[in-house]
Chains A and B, each alone.
Chain A
């Protein structure tokens, strides 16, 4: 018969073990991709899969000689940060208005915004492609920034709306009584007290923009192509390029993984205290 203390210890141990198993399962594909990137093509598809092998940098050297990695990486950085910045510029006032000046149509508007995420992107590919062609936005960073802003806006507004709803209205009313304009209310009162929520919205938007592949593959050719397009260029219908594909995928994931690693505290805090609580 276990004592209460032993039962608690056992539960902690079991939950801890479960968490480790889940974490390892989630991390395994990334680990395997990293490992494969240092294999030769022959080792990459050997069966049973090899855990121990002589590592080679050949795949990275080939990727470097075949593709201009920094051109694609710079496009990813500019487009992700640009779309996130523009999205925040639109989402903060929208969420502020919906959270603090709610009308009978607010809920409906929010649901409608979210419903646009339910439409399969391919359904609007041709009209958007034609519009982009007519206004000269095909294969431009500006075009991608615009489209990423639009596709992430509903999630950004929803997240910020949920954070803002938790802030007591009295605080903003007090600022208003002191003579603050709506802009001052947002900049001097709202933003400083919702830093956590804003940071996590910002990070989520960055990650979503960085990983987006459908629009980047369809709307760019060479000038504005981001890292997702570079990864797609190593996928082959005829020929084994798994090791090279792993190398280029590692290079594409690395910046956002490092960025996510350093900002994980903000991200987890924001997600667990905010919209997804």
Chain B
């Protein structure tokens, strides 16, 4: 009797373990590395404790590698990922291709109407929502209040680019390693072209007219690019054509930039004492406008979507609903402090007085988010949506190519006129090849 008990027990435990393993659903999440995503990863045990039948598996990659990896995976229907972290650019395009699961059956307590309308709009195609926003951003102006006070300058709530240039001229002291302004110069559709597109929008330019003809040779683009090259080339840090978000953040945090126009998400970085040596002196204003304020501040949302190739769609939706819920924001506030709530997605976050008090950048972020409109981002009518990008599949390649030409103009390798002329020719060629010109 005693002898047969041991193997029986062993067999029973193996069977139990096997059954348990079979009952467990693994959700593989492809994501990028940044503060908010790391916190989400760290909160995995909380989610798994609340959903014991779901196990989360993380694949963290650099943004461009992740984009390439996810595109290959989704285009070939490989189903290696159950949840994908994608941006406002990809969601409508992939939604249109039927690559993503339409998120229609969200629970009532999710309160989908609490999401910023512009963000929700940006993550939808023909009215159907294809991703839930994890955090969203617009762009705004960061400036050093101490330097402005010293120089007797006042930053308005919504400066113009010409005012920004005047301030940059006054505060540019390269001998003291203090530069008037830091802006993105590194080539790439998500790098320099994100900023340059908003400068162009503010100067009244647009990427394409209503017939998808590129407009780089118009007066507006000439004004915008000449202004950008002059401003950053003369009053920016040396080697500005290699600077992206992180390089400028490092420069600004070490007190080398008097002003910086970039993503609102940087608000929590520049005010964080562990990262910034000038955290006590930061002021915030809206992104600069010029002839119009339409499209002057960009709009981007990192969001969580489910590919149709996933075999565990239900579990994946349970996870993305949790990670973008109000309850998740409360959890982050409790564990990491209220200022670390993923910004820019829910209006209720900005109705919370405790958040507004803890996050000095929150009011400007809210105003920037409210002003950003991906549907009407240009002064003249345009056939596309997107503020700092054009939501068509061809844009990624076109934007990067044009970005290289503009970075070349900033570095002094070509003139503004030559860069615009090359951009016009290259864009027209790509659009004709893609069949936009009938």
Taking beta carbons and an 8 Å cutoff, which residues of A are in contact with B? 40-42, 45-47, 66, 125-126, 129-130, 133, 138-139, 217-218, 221-222, 225, 229, 232-241
Q: For the A-B complex with A130-B76, A217-B61, A238-B263 known, give 7 more contacts whose Cβ atoms are closer than 8 Å.
A: A45-B250, A125-B72, A129-B78, A221-B81, A237-B246, A238-B34, A239-B246
Residue of A nearest to B262 (CB): A238
Task: Kindly state the separation between the CA atoms of A63 and B141 in the bound complex, as whole angstroms.
Answer: 33
Task: Kindly state the separation between the CA atoms of A222 and B30 in the bound complex, as whole angstroms.
Answer: 10
With A47-B254, A235-B62, A237-B62 known as contacts, the answer to whether A222 contacts B72 (CB < 8 A) is no
Proximity string of chain B (58-76) to chain A, C-beta cutoff 8 Å, 1 when within and 0 when not? 1111110100110010001
Asked whether B41 lies within 8 Å of A237 as measured between CB atoms, the reply is no
Task: Kindly state the separation between the CA atoms of A126 and B57 in the bound complex, as whole angstroms.
Answer: 25
- Which residues of chain B from 43 to 65 have any CB-CB distance to chain A below 8 Å in the complex? 57-63, 65
Task: Kindly state the separation between the CA atoms of A166 and B30 in the bound complex, as whole angstroms.
Answer: 51
Contact of A240 among B69, B80, B244, B246 (CB under 8 A): B246
Contact of B28 among A42, A221, A232, A237 (CB under 8 A): A221
Asked whether A138 lies within 8 Å of B80 as measured between CB atoms, the reply is yes
Contact of B76 among A40, A126, A221, A225 (CB under 8 A): A126
Task: Kindly state the separation between the CA atoms of A234 and B35 in the bound complex, as whole angstroms.
Answer: 11
Asked whether B76 lies within 8 Å of A129 as measured between CB atoms, the reply is yes
Number of interface residues of B (CB under 8 A): 43
**Does B427 belong to the interface (CB within 8 Å)?**
no
- How many Å from the CB of B100 to the closest CB on chain A? 19
Asked whether B249 lies within 8 Å of A221 as measured between CB atoms, the reply is no
| Chain A residues in 8 Å Cβ range of B251 | 47
Most chain B beta carbons < 10 A, residue from A129, A133, A238, A240: A238
Task: Kindly state the separation between the CA atoms of A45 and B28 in the bound complex, as whole angstroms.
Answer: 33
19 CB-based A-B contacts, threshold 8 Å: A47-B250, A47-B251, A126-B76, A129-B78, A217-B61, A218-B68, A218-B69, A218-B72, A221-B59, A222-B58, A232-B65, A233-B60, A238-B263, A238-B265, A238-B266, A239-B33, A240-B246, A240-B250, A240-B253
> 4 tightest A-B contacts by CB?
A233-B60, A45-B250, A235-B62, A237-B63
Asked whether A237 lies within 8 Å of B245 as measured between CB atoms, the reply is yes
Asked whether B275 lies within 8 Å of A233 as measured between CB atoms, the reply is no
Contact of B254 among A40, A46, A222, A237 (CB under 8 A): A46
Contact of A133 among B42, B57, B78, B190 (CB under 8 A): B78
Residue of A nearest to B191 (CB): A237
- How many Å from the CB of B146 to the closest CB on chain A? 19
With A42-B275, A129-B76 known as contacts, the answer to whether A237 contacts B68 (CB < 8 A) is no
Task: Kindly state the separation between the CA atoms of A239 and B245 in the bound complex, as whole angstroms.
Answer: 8
Asked whether B274 lies within 8 Å of A129 as measured between CB atoms, the reply is no
**Does B144 belong to the interface (CB within 8 Å)?**
no
- How many Å from the CB of B249 to the closest CB on chain A? 6
| Chain A residues in 8 Å Cβ range of B68 | 218
Asked whether B274 lies within 8 Å of A42 as measured between CB atoms, the reply is yes
**Does B256 belong to the interface (CB within 8 Å)?**
yes
- How many Å from the CB of B247 to the closest CB on chain A? 9
- How many Å from the CB of B351 to the closest CB on chain A? 26
| Chain B residues in 8 Å Cβ range of A238 | 34, 245-246, 263, 265-266
Taking beta carbons and an 8 Å cutoff, which residues of B are in contact with A? 28, 30, 32-35, 38, 41-42, 57-63, 65, 68-69, 72, 76, 78, 80-81, 177, 190, 244-246, 249-251, 253-254, 256, 263, 265-266, 269, 274-277
Task: Kindly state the separation between the CA atoms of A45 and B250 in the bound complex, as whole angstroms.
Answer: 6
Asked whether B69 lies within 8 Å of A41 as measured between CB atoms, the reply is no
Task: Kindly state the separation between the CA atoms of A125 and B78 in the bound complex, as whole angstroms.
Answer: 14
| Chain A residues in 8 Å Cβ range of B61 | 217, 229, 232-233
Asked whether A232 lies within 8 Å of B62 as measured between CB atoms, the reply is yes
| Chain B residues in 8 Å Cβ range of A125 | 72
Most chain A beta carbons < 10 A, residue from B33, B41, B69, B80: B33
Asked whether B78 lies within 8 Å of A237 as measured between CB atoms, the reply is no
Asked whether A225 lies within 8 Å of B32 as measured between CB atoms, the reply is no
Asked whether B80 lies within 8 Å of A221 as measured between CB atoms, the reply is yes
Task: Kindly state the separation between the CA atoms of A139 and B69 in the bound complex, as whole angstroms.
Answer: 12
Asked whether B274 lies within 8 Å of A237 as measured between CB atoms, the reply is no
| Chain A residues in 8 Å Cβ range of B274 | 40-42
Asked whether A241 lies within 8 Å of B76 as measured between CB atoms, the reply is no
Asked whether A45 lies within 8 Å of B254 as measured between CB atoms, the reply is yes
| Chain A residues in 8 Å Cβ range of B30 | 221
Asked whether B72 lies within 8 Å of A126 as measured between CB atoms, the reply is yes
Residue of A nearest to B30 (CB): A221
Task: Kindly state the separation between the CA atoms of A60 and B61 in the bound complex, as whole angstroms.
Answer: 19
Task: Kindly state the separation between the CA atoms of A52 and B41 in the bound complex, as whole angstroms.
Answer: 34
- How many Å from the CB of B400 to the closest CB on chain A? 15
Asked whether B28 lies within 8 Å of A222 as measured between CB atoms, the reply is yes
Task: Kindly state the separation between the CA atoms of A237 and B38 in the bound complex, as whole angstroms.
Answer: 13
| Chain B residues in 8 Å Cβ range of A240 | 246, 249-250, 253, 269, 275
- How many Å from the CB of B368 to the closest CB on chain A? 16
| Chain A residues in 8 Å Cβ range of B266 | 238
Contact of A217 among B33, B69, B78, B245 (CB under 8 A): B69
Residue of A nearest to B63 (CB): A237
Residue of A nearest to B274 (CB): A42
| Chain B residues in 8 Å Cβ range of A42 | 253, 274-277
With A133-B78, A235-B33, A236-B246 known as contacts, the answer to whether A225 contacts B59 (CB < 8 A) is yes
| Chain A residues in 8 Å Cβ range of B190 | 237
| Chain A residues in 8 Å Cβ range of B250 | 45, 47, 240
Task: Kindly state the separation between the CA atoms of A240 and B38 in the bound complex, as whole angstroms.
Answer: 13
- How many Å from the CB of B267 to the closest CB on chain A? 12
Task: Kindly state the separation between the CA atoms of A42 and B252 in the bound complex, as whole angstroms.
Answer: 12
Most chain B beta carbons < 10 A, residue from A66, A138, A222: A222
Asked whether A222 lies within 8 Å of B57 as measured between CB atoms, the reply is yes
Contact of A138 among B57, B78, B245, B265 (CB under 8 A): B78
With A237-B62, A238-B263, A240-B246 known as contacts, the answer to whether A41 contacts B275 (CB < 8 A) is yes
